[in-house]
Amino acid sequence: MADIFNELTAAEAAQRIVDGVLTSEKLVTACLDRIEKREKVVGAWVSFDPDKALAEARQRDGEPSRGPLHGIPIGIKDIIETADLPTQFGSPIYENYQPVADAACVALLRTAGAVVLGKTVTTEFATYTPGKTVNPHSPAHTPGGSSSGSAAAVADFMVPLALGTQTAQSVIRPASYCGTVGYKSTCGEFALSGVRILGQSLDSLGVFARSVADCQLVRSALVNAKPKPPSQRRPPRIGLFRTPQWDDADPDSQRAVEAAGEAIKKAGGTVDDVPMRDPFNNLIDLHNHVMCFEVARSLAYEYETHRDRLSERLQGIIKAGLAVSYENYCQALLQRNRCRQMLSDLFINFDALIAPSAQGEAPRGLESTGNPLFGRIWSLLQMPCINLPGHTGRNGLPVGVQVIGAFGQDDRLIAVADWLEKRIA
């Protein structure tokens, strides 16, 4: 029976631990057994210490509950610092680098009772050069990036929860490709102290999970709030936002979004198309300019002192960023602010928007992590997003639907997404 504990949602496992019918040690053991069985295929982890994780689980079993994640194992993306495990940022420059302290988010999760199972694979400095991870549904396909290890570990039942980060689409895209729930918070919602920053106006902390309720548990720990189940009392009002990139989505992704809209209507919700507006048409380019500008500054040391140990693609991004003028950068942020205000007005009439999570199924091949096209707008606008799995494409691989909330309204988004989760899959 132990082999099924690792398939529980975090919320289910947490409740069983509270009820005394499951121990953290049994849960962690089941996860470690799954890792031993599948890690050689999936390659989701860059470092972990089974003995330490089990010791931490036994400690949780022998003490009063610390909080909503008491005894629940979690994976940590390897650009997030941990005091007891190396943090290598997906780069040979920092091989075996050992931080002296946990990132704020890791410390808060431990305070809430979580057990850090290990560090998950990231791309190079959370950019585009892939790590070793494959898609657990089909090893010939990418898991997405940059939070590849976190998405694959949760999808393959190695761990119920994992942290990721998003600068372009590094939570939503791998969640869609791997078939997990993925929650990207509003930019600035969670403390990023101890997280390697790539774009200071773009980066958001994210969560990979098996249910929307699991994301709420993690959120409650990170904001130090009393956990409460997501609650959407009435059928929501949803805007179907095809985005200016709709024609770039393949039929699988388009069908998933449209089918979700029909399911919402059948369940009593309302769905209306959101018209395109001119200011949104060039947000993809603006995101790219902002991202390149900020990456060039955040990786200035590595570019100047270890340039030969950076991939050619990352060097190209930095060079492009150095060519973006400060004036153009500021103009891009001003347009970002105008568009966000327009969307803020839109959310007076809608509880959330739905849009493609990705172009379609995970592409075949491991040389690329896929195209972040359908996340760039929302990352630039700093808005919270959730990937809801449940659809499949022509090859039987997962295809997600993205749910977008108003800026700073993460709890409202989670409540709506929880309602949708039960009805659109």
For residue 415, the tally of other CB atoms under 10 A from its CB is 23
Q: Residue 258 is encoded by which pair of tokens?
A: 């449209």
Separation of first and last alpha carbons in the chain: 28
Supply the pLDDT for residue 236: 96
pLDDT score, position 231: 79
Residue 407 CB neighbour total at 10 angstroms: 18
pLDDT for 422: 92
Ramachandran sector of residue 416 (left: φ over 0; alpha: ψ -120 to 50; beta: rest): alpha
146 counts as catalytic? yes
* pLDDT at residue 226 greater than cutoff 90: no
Domain ranges of the chain: 1-425
Residues 147, 148, 150, 170: which is the catalytic one? 170
- Give residue 332's identity as a one-letter amino acid code: A
**Sequential DSSP letters for 10-30:** HHHHHHHHHHTS--HHHHHHH
Q: Does residue 141 come out as left (phi exceeding 0), alpha (psi in the -120 to 50 range) or beta?
A: beta
- Cβ atoms of 205 and 195 within 8 Å: the answer is yes
Answer whether residue 3 shows pLDDT above 60: no
| DSSP assignments along 372-391, one per residue | -HHHHHHHHTT--EEEEEEE
Question: Residue 147 — very low, low, confident or very high, per pLDDT cuts 50/70/90?
Answer: very high
Residue 26 annotated among the catalytic residues of the structure: no
Beta partners for 120?
A: 45, 77
pLDDT of residue 269: 96
In order of 5, 105, 164, 175, 423, the CA distances from 34 in angstroms are 10, 26, 21, 20, 30
CA-based torsion, 284, 409, 179, 126: positive or negative: positive
Find the catalytic residue in 26, 91, 119, 146.
Answer: 146
With tokens 């909503």, the residue in question is 68
Q: CATH homologous superfamily of domain 1-425? A: Amidase signature (AS) domain (3.90.1300.10)
User: Is residue 146 reached through a cis peptide bond, with omega within 30 degrees of 0 on the bond before it?
Assistant: yes
Q: If we measure between CA atoms, which residue out of 404, 405, 414 comes closest to residue 356?
A: 404
| Among 24, 26, 77, 150, the one annotated catalytic | 77
- pLDDT tens string 335-388: 999 999 988 888 999 999 999 999 999 999 999 999 999 999 999 999 999 999
